[in-house]
Amino acid sequence: MQRSADGINYVSIGFVNSLALNGNSSDLISYTFTDNAPAGARQYYRLRQQDISGQSKLSNIVLIKGAKPAVLTIESIFPNPAKNTVNVIVATPVRDNITVMITDMAGRTVMQQIANVETGSNTIQLNVAALTTGAYLVQLDCGNGCEQAPARFIKN
């Protein structure tokens, strides 16, 4: 197992022996590895698999975001401008039911939807096809008084 903070420079952080008899198998075998000393909020990981003859190859790179959100936030909205649907990326510190509200620029609520979110990053898809062309704000209500800055999107 290899880790990197920048996705370019990797260091070896551990080794897992083969679970296959004599190191060779045609069956699917699952492995786990725990990184007990991540350094920072973003870690890049890759595997270096070595066969019996000593040849090795590298896996695809996987990015893990290790920082748990501290407050409910809208991380991004896409596509923006939107035509029929808009995706709202929401980060939350706890599992919760939230209300996603879309308001026009005059502050009138034109749409709302309940969403069940899990701890971490969530994608909420909203159907905005019925909205008229213009600018809108997306706001979140978690029911326990939390506040977050609204995010803006354009409907084409």
- Does 150 or 134 have the greater pLDDT score? 134
If we measure between CA atoms, which residue out of 80, 82, 50, 77 comes closest to residue 149? 77
**d(Cα 36, Cα 97) in Å, to the nearest integer?**
32
Looking at residue 53, its pLDDT comes to: 85
**d(Cα 130, Cα 145) in Å, to the nearest integer?**
30
Looking at residue 147, its pLDDT comes to: 66
Could you tell me the pTM of the whole model?
0.59
Contact (Cβ atoms closer than 8 angstroms) between residue 133 and residue 155? yes
Domains of the chain with bracketed CATH: 2-65 (no CATH), 73-155 (2.60.40.1930)
Report residue 34's pLDDT band, with 50, 70 and 90 as the boundaries. Answer: confident
Highest mean pLDDT among 1-10, 28-37, 123-132, 136-145: 123-132
Query: Which structure tokens are listed for 50?
Result: 């070595």
Mean pLDDT for 100-125 is 92
